[in-house]
Amino acid sequence: MSTTLNKAADVQSPGLGERLSMVVSDSVTIAKRNVIKIKRVPDVLVFTTLSPIMFVLLFAYIFGSAIQIEGVAGGYREFLIAGIFAQTVVFGATFTGAGLAEDMQKGIIDRFRSLPMAPSAVLVGRTISDVVINIVSLVVMSLTGLIVGWRIRGSFLDAVLAYVLMLLFAYALSWIMAVVGLLVRAPEVFNNASFMVIFPLTFISNAFVPLESLPGPLRVFAEWNPVSALTQAVRDLFGNTNPLGPPSEAWPMQNPVATTLMWIVVILIVFVPLAQVQYKKSVSR
């Protein structure tokens, strides 16, 4: 009798391979659902792409005339684009949290719970779908940058690495936003909460001004800011750095690519489990 029950349990419980296959399949399904939702509500994508365009034009033609960057071939505009790239992917990561907060409010998550699907697929699918948004934003950003005078002066492989690095960084940040989105109870609250995190990271950095122009404490924060590391890495890989300017002696600025990769790994290690735990708590309210 005992042997028969054990055999029945072995048949009913899926193995590790089957569980992984289920997670992948369900995650792809959720990602498709989110991408189709964007297609059906094009306003989201339109305003997502218009925002970086406005930032490029604003900074390039208004602030660009007041800020001089010596030693960079394209001047402030080439210096600027990497910062706009970093800002764009950081802002793009907020769609994960906003989408989760909206789904929680509308009861979509409860519908997912009633389906025979892997619970982790909701978060994985949500974060994967936002990579698509960031790809579209980066394409629009690149075209806009080329129009205002930005050029890629590094090698083709370095440029590809820069784009991959930005997408990986945005994917890691989306897990932070997932935690924030699951903690709040309304999409409107998430917008205010996320901006409290995003604005210090993007503006107290080297995204829009050189580090040497910042006062002491702010400069130290900016040098160790992950957004600064990403921005510096993108500038180095695109060949938009200032060869004549005084380089920062901070380790992250001397090794921006390695620093960005380390930040990505640390964020994923910390916030992927946190997001899973918070998801279980949120759906059990």
Domain map (residue ranges) of the chain: 17-283
Q: How far apart are CA 133 and CA 141, in angstroms?
A: 12
Q: Encoding tokens for residue 137?
A: 């934003």
The model's pTM: 0.85
Contacts of 110 (CB under 8 A, 6+ apart): 283
Q: Encoding tokens for residue 7?
A: 């055999």
How far, CA to CA in Å, does 36 sit from each of 42, 108, 186? 10, 15, 23
Mean pLDDT calculated for residue range 60-81: 68
Tens of pLDDT, residues 167-218: 999 999 999 999 998 888 777 788 888 888 888 888 899 888 888 878 888 9
pLDDT score of 4 more than 70: no
Q: How far apart are CA 119 and CA 8, in angstroms?
A: 24
Out of 46-50, 235-239, 255-259, the most confident range is 255-259
Residue type, 41: V
Alpha helices by DSSP H, listed for 149-238, are: 156-183, 187-203, 216-223, 226-238
How far, CA to CA in Å, does 137 sit from each of 85, 89, 125, 144, 205? 9, 8, 19, 10, 21
Q: How far apart are CA 150 and CA 144, in angstroms?
A: 9
Ordered DSSP codes for 245-267: SPPP-SHHHHSHHHHHHHHHHHH
* Longest CA pairwise span in the chain (Å): 84
Out of 26-40, 115-129, 174-188, the most confident range is 174-188
Tens of pLDDT, residues 95-108: 888 888 888 777 77
